Structure 1
Amino acid sequence: MKKIKNETALLKKAIEIGEKYAKNRGYKGFSGTDSAKQKIESLYRLLVHDKLVQPLAKDQENQLNMKHKLALWISKQLPEGHELLK
């Protein structure tokens, strides 16, 4: 797995956009007590279910790889020339 430039910032943006996407899909939303780990796994599973990201192999499903998948997903959603893609 190759590290993406600005991966941490992209992940933060992916969580932000992913939460809005989940709400639009009817998810009640995350509470203030939900950890980042819970949000990442929930968003990853929602995006896989909606076929917006390709699922990881069962033996590769871990927090690090889910974070990477979310960062890749959002990097493809952002417009060309966005500050996080530079």
Structure 2
Amino acid sequence: MKKIKHEAQLLKKALQIGEQYAAKRGFTSFDDGTSNKIKIECIYRLLVDDKIIVPLASDKEDGPNMKHKLVLWIQKQLPEGHALLAD
């Protein structure tokens, strides 16, 4: 898995956009005490269920790979020239 520049910030943005997407789909928002690990898994599974992202192989479905998948997803969603996409 290749390290992506600004990965932490991209993940934060992916969680923010993913929560907004989930709310539009009718899901209640996460509690303040909900860990990022749970948020990552829930948003990943929602995006896979809605066929927005391709699921990981079952033996690769773990925290770091889900994070990476969300980062790749948000990179494609951000407009060209966005500050987080700059090299």
**TM category, shorter:** over 0.9
The alignment yields a C-alpha RMSD, in angstroms, of 0.5
Corresponding residue of 1:22: 22
Aligned length: 86
Matched letter for residue 70 of structure 2: L
In structure 2, the partner of 1:34 is 34
Moved over 3 A (4+): none
Structure 1 residue 27 displacement after superposition: 0.4
Partner of 2:3: 3
Match of 1:64 in 2: 64
Work out the CA distance in 2 between the residues paired with 1:3 and 1:46. Answer: 24
Q: Which blocks of at least 5 consecutive residues in structure 2 are unaligned?
A: none
Output the amino acid matched with 1:19.
Answer: E
Provide the identity percentage: 63
TM-score, structure 1 normalization: 0.98
CA–CA separation in structure 2 for the residues paired with 1:56 and 1:2: 16
TM-score by length of 2: 0.97
**Cα drift, residue 53 of structure 1:** 0.7
Using the TM superposition, give the Cα deviation of residue 29 of structure 1 relative to its aligned residue in structure 2, in angstroms.
Answer: 1.1
Q: Distance in 2 between matches of 1:68 and 1:56?
A: 11
Displacement of 1:41 in angstroms is 0.2
